[in-house]
């Protein structure tokens, strides 16, 4: 087995300090062939331990990056040194004996070459591929300074040529006696490049660039697997690993597993991995539907209640068995096939306030509102945040509101569409709740807004004359271009036909007092109209008739609406359990679902999703849910269910990396943090970069970490990523001019673009990478190509971020470049 691994042209190299040893593996064992040697303690074993050690060493370097400095060609421990841990626990317990021997040898070897290297292990053991593969590599572009002497970066030559020490820097260090305090924390001249090859069968090429002065290590080539975990289970081929993980089933278990070490966490936040973990879960609208919050046998509220009725209702509510809301996952949901993983959470979250609360709406996966009597509350079932809002104010004392008609949960991502700077923003963070209410005995519909910033209800404003208009369609608003929209009909002019005039009630977001506007929608409304946003981000109205659905779509920002689709609803299925979906309108409840799709709940059971663009109807699940209260037609509610929808990646990112309070807020800027000089002025409007401000010093959160790359989220946010990935969401920064960015074609699924901003280079290095993790998810050839092309261009333009550099102009990331990457 060893032989078959090694025989495929792999050239093992050993790097210690600046010493490189090439080893001969022809005998199936590693025999040092030339150069100075350090015995490879693992040579006789399988390839895996070597790889493991590679990873361990790299990790160790990463961990200890602060504690080592290169002085005059030797390694010295920095002032803040921590004792490097010995290489250990890479293997199983049984192997510890061997391991101990290994580290002894390693130490011996290390001390042979460099005294100052102390008791640390050799920097790395790595395996390089032969010429062919090496030739395929390109130098790591954009490595800033060390790039000039590309001799040590990968060239077509043999592995040995890679590691020639950089003469200039070493000389500098010698000349200066004491090395000058490095401006860029690039302490050593060497880029130590570890190439790890698992074996040919798996075609794994893992190239780690370890610059000991900083914490950079990258995968140059995408690997079929990410094999650098040190544990047993990571040694499994990915297929098997997925088999195993998919059998775990419970999301909680997966989270706990992901939390065991950084690598696993990284892996679990890798969209490609997740996509493979739940393959059925990446396509279609079904994929986004995680499940339903449902509550059965909700007590019927009197339509017009008075104080007495209210009291009565309370009394009666005590008698009526009302269940706490429960979560019912869809079959493909990562929330667990059977468990309903959120139900225990909901139960736990449901303190007195939320007992028997009725789920009203859930949006962007994160926030869901619950309504108990006339108290509103918000909770995020994944992060566990909860918020109970103060009772709604009433303009006239003594009056109380009849009912909360409709609602809109606004999160950070919604607010930034129209360049409206908001005090705090995060993609998922709740930022505003808007509700409309109808007052007893009055026909006015009031609009209330609860911004998260002020934490109080705004003064209600009248938004609709109830005597003339009435709201129709879904109770949850459709948020589109910085406003929440509901549908209204004008029932004054009653045409003889079935048509009616349709209006759009829009509430502007992000304002202190809500402003509402009413616009006519030039659509021949009929049936039950539902507002939705198409996949392309256009507003559309779907009119559901008995046997068909007509879709009208707004054309851009124009006032024109066109009928874009007419979808025949499928007729009866042969299964008797599922009588025709559309026998009568009352028998099927519809809900607007995300991105141009709708959910249908036929009374006969089952849940279907109708894709308005592909005109397809798909069954999501069989079980009968309590009918949604989101329809306005019924006074009686026998239950309620709120679809809980979230992108899988969002879900994991949020679940694994949820963040709470660290958000961008104006008022304080930390230029130093950004590596921007104090004379740096944020570019004006129209530029993408980069006014970064923090509410809190991020270093406090993670002192060791500097931003390593930023992720441009769809729409408007920059997400700065730290060394430890769990900090991923900890710095979510708005891009000040999102309109320009919004022209970028982001695919429906999260396609991340990573701007590589390595702070240790003080921003000189800005590379756009096509994936979430540096190179871990794309295939090697493509990745390399993109990597080189894009980064070269990006570097040329990234001088903006240099400290004290003249700011020539805003960083111009053109649309084209983005498209190349995506």
Residues near another protein (CB under 8 A): 1, 4, 56, 59, 63, 89-94, 201, 229-233, 235-237, 239-240, 242-253, 255-257, 259-264, 276-281, 331-334, 337, 345, 348, 382-384, 655-660, 702, 724, 726
**Residue number, 136 or 278, with CB nearest to another protein:** 278
Structure tokens belonging to residue 174: 């010698």
Cβ proximity to another protein, 96 vs 116, nearer residue: 96
CA distance 393 to 447: 11
Residue closer to another protein (CB basis): 637 or 708: 708
Smallest gap from residue 82 Cβ to another protein (A): 11
Cα 803 to Cα 593, 698, 763: the distances in Å are: 47, 19, 8
Instruction: Yes or no: say if 299 and 317 are a contact pair by the CB < 8 Å rule.
Output: yes
Characterize 228-255 residue by residue with b for buried, 16 or more Cβ atoms within 10 angstroms of its Cβ, and e for exposed: bbbbeebbbebeebbeebeeeeebbebb
Is residue 416 within 8 A of residue 737, CB to CB? The reply is: no
In whole angstroms, how close is the CB of 84 to another protein at the nearest point? 13
Measuring CA to CA, which residue among 562, 538, 567, 572 is closest to residue 550? 567
Taking the least distance from each CB to another protein, the nearer of 81 and 548 is: 81
CB of 113 to another protein, least distance (A): 26
Min separation Cβ 322 and another protein, Å: 24
Residue 125 CB, shortest distance to another protein, in Å, is 17
Q: Which is nearer to another protein, 255 or 750 (CB)?
A: 255
Nearer to another protein, 4 or 560 (CB): 4
* Spatial contact of 438 and 367, defined as CB atoms under 8 Å apart: no
Concatenated DSSP letters of 231-289: STGGGS-HHHHHHHHHHH--HHHHHHHHTSSHHHHHHHT-HHHHHHHSGGGSSTTGGGE
Q: For tokens 């010493």, what's the residue?
A: 19
Q: What is the three-class DSSP state of 725?
A: helix
Q: How many CA atoms lie within 13 A of 373 on its CB side?
A: 23
According to DSSP, residue 298 is labeled P
Q: In whole angstroms, how close is the CB of 229 to another protein at the nearest point?
A: 7
Query: Which candidate, 283, 260, 282, places its Cα nearest to that of 273?
Result: 282
CB 568 within 8 A of CB 631: no
Pick the closer one to another protein by CB: 336 or 377. Answer: 336
CB 154 within 8 A of CB 193: yes
- 36 vs 92 by CB, closer to another protein: 92
Closer to another protein by Cβ: residue 190 or 333: 333
In 665-765, at which residue ranges do the beta strands (DSSP E only) sit?
709-712, 717-721, 731-734, 753-757
In the bound state with another protein, the residue whose beta carbon lies nearer, of 110 and 241, is: 241
Cis peptide before 690 (omega within 30 of 0): yes
Residue/partner pairs of 520-527 with CB below 8 Å, 24 or more apart: 521/487, 521/552, 521/561, 522/559, 522/560, 522/561, 523/552, 523/561, 524/499, 525/489, 525/499, 525/500, 525/501, 526/498, 526/499, 526/500, 526/550, 527/498, 527/585
CB of 524 to another protein, least distance (A): 40
- The minimum distance between CB 64 and another protein, in angstroms, equals 12
Between 37 and 776, name the residue whose CB sits nearer to another protein.
776
Q: Could you tell me the smallest distance in angstroms from the CB atom of residue 640 to another protein?
A: 23
Q: Measured between alpha carbons, how far is 85 from 87 in angstroms, rounded to an integer?
A: 6
Which residue, 60, 50, 99, 88, is CA-closest to 235?
A: 50
Nearer to another protein, 383 or 822 (CB): 383
Q: Closest distance between another protein and the C-beta of residue 341, in Å?
A: 9
Considering the complex, what minimum distance in angstroms separates the CB of residue 108 from another protein?
23
Question: Within 10 Å of residue 31's Cβ, how many Cβ atoms?
Answer: 14
* Shortest Cβ 132–another protein spacing (Å): 23
Sign of the C-alpha dihedral computed for residues 485, 491, 496 and 498 taken in this order: positive
- Nearest of 12, 36, 41 to residue 25 by alpha carbon: 12
In whole angstroms, the minimum distance from the beta carbon of 747 to another protein comes to 22
Beta carbon nearer to another protein, 233 or 494 = 233
When the beta carbons of 246 and 353 are compared against another protein, the nearer one is 246
Residue in the block written with tokens 């009119």: 543
Contacts of 615 (CB under 8 A, 6+ apart): 565, 567
From the CB of 1, what's the least distance to another protein, in Å?
Answer: 4
């Amino acid at each position: 087995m060893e032989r078959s691994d090694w025989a495929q042209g792999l050239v093992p190299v050993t790097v210690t300090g600046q010493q490189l040893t090439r080893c001969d593996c022809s005998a199936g064992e590693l025999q040092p062939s030339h150069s100075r040697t350090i015995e490879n303690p693992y040579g006789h074993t399988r390839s895996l331990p070597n790889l493991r050690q590679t990873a361990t060493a790299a990790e160790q370097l990463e961990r200890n990056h602060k504690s080592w400095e290169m002085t005059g060609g030797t390694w010295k421990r920095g002032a803040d040194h921590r004792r490097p841990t010995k290489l250990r626990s890479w293997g199983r317990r049984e192997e510890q004996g061997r391991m101990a021997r290994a580290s002894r040898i390693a130490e011996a070897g290390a001390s042979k070459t460099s005294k100052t290297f102390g008791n640390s292990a050799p920097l790395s053991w790595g395996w390089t591929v032969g010429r062919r593969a090496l030739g395929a590599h390109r130098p790591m572009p954009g490595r800033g300074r060390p790039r000039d002497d590309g001799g040590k970066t990968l060239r077509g030559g043999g592995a040995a040529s890679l590691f020639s020490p950089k003469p200039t820097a070493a000389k500098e260090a010698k000349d200066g006696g004491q090395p000058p305090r490095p401006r860029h924390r690039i302490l050593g001249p060497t880029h130590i490049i570890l190439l790890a090859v698992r074996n040919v069968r798996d075609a794994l090429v893992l190239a780690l660039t370890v610059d000991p002065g900083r914490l950079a290590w990258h995968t140059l080539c995408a690997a079929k697997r990410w094999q650098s975990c040190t544990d047993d289970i990571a040694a499994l081929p990915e297929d098997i690993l997925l088999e195993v993980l998919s059998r775990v089933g419970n999301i909680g278990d997966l989270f706990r597993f992901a939390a065991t070490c950084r690598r696993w966490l990284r892996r679990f936040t890798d969209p490609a991995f997740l996509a493979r973990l739940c393959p059925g879960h990446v396509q279609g609208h079904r994929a986004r539907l995680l499940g339903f919050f449902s509550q059965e046998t909700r007590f019927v509220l009197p339509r017009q209640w008075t104080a007495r009725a209210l009291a009565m209702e309370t009394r009666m509510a005590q008698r009526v068995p009302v269940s706490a809301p429960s979560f019912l996952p869809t079959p493909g949901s990562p929330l667990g096939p059977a468990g309903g993983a959120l139900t225990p959470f909901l139960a736990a979250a449901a303190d007195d306030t939320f007992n028997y609360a009725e789920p009203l709406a859930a949006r962007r996966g994160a926030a869901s509102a619950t309504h108990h009597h006339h108290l509103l509350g918000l909770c995020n079932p994944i992060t566990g945040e909860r918020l109970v809002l103060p009772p709604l104010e009433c303009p006239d004392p003594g009056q109380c509101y009849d009912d909360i008609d409709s609602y809109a949960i606004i999160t950070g991502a919604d607010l930034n569409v129209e360049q409206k700077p908001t005090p705090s923003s995060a993609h998922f963070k709740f930022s505003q709740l808007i509700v409309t209410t109808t007052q007893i005995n009055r026909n006015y519909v009031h609009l209330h807004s609860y911004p998260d910033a002020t934490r109080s209800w705004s003064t209600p404003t009248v938004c609709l004359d109830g005597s003339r208009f009435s709201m129709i369609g879904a109770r949850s608003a459709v948020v589109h271009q910085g406003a929440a929209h509901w549908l209204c009909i004008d029932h004054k002019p009653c045409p003889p036909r079935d048509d009616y005039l349709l209006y759009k009630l829009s509430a502007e977001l992000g304002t202190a007092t809500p402003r509402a506007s009413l616009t006519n929608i030039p659509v021949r409304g009929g049936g039950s109209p539902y507002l939705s946003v198409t996949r392309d981000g256009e507003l559309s109205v779907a009119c559901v008739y008995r046997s068909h659905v007509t879709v009208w779509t707004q054309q851009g920002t124009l006032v024109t609406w066109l009928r874009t689709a007419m979808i025949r609803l499928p007729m009866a299925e042969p299964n008797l359990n599922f009588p025709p979906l559309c026998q009568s309108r009352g028998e099927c409840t519809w809900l607007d679902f995300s991105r141009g799709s709708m959910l249908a709940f036929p009374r006969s059971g089952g849940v279907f999703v109708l894709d308005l663009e592909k005109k397809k109807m798909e069954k999501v699940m069989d079980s009968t849910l309590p009918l949604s209260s989101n329809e306005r037609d019924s006074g009686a509610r026998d239950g309620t269910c709120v679809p809980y929808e979230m992108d899988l990646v969002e879900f994991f990112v949020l679940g694994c990396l949820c963040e709470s309070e660290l958000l961008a807020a104006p008022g304080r800027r930390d230029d130093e943090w950004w590596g921007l000089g104090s004379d740096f002025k944020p570019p004006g409007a129209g530029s993408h970069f980069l006014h970064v401000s923090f509410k809190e010093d991020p270093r406090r959160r993670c002192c060791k970490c500097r931003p390593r790359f930023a992720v441009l989220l769809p729409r408007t946010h920059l997400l700065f990523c730290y060394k430890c990935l769990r900090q991923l969401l900890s710095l979510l920064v708005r891009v000040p001019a999102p309109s320009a960015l919004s022209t970028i074609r982001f695919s429906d699924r999260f396609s991340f673009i990573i701007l590589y901003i390595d702070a240790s280079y003080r921003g000189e290095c800005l590379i756009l990478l096509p994936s979430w993790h540096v190179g871990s998810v794309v295939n090697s050839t493509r990745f390399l190509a993109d990597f080189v092309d894009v980064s070269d261009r990006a570097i040329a333009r990234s001088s903006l971020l240099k400290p004290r550099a003249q700011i020539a102009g805003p960083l111009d990331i053109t649309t084209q470049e983005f498209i190349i990457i995506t």
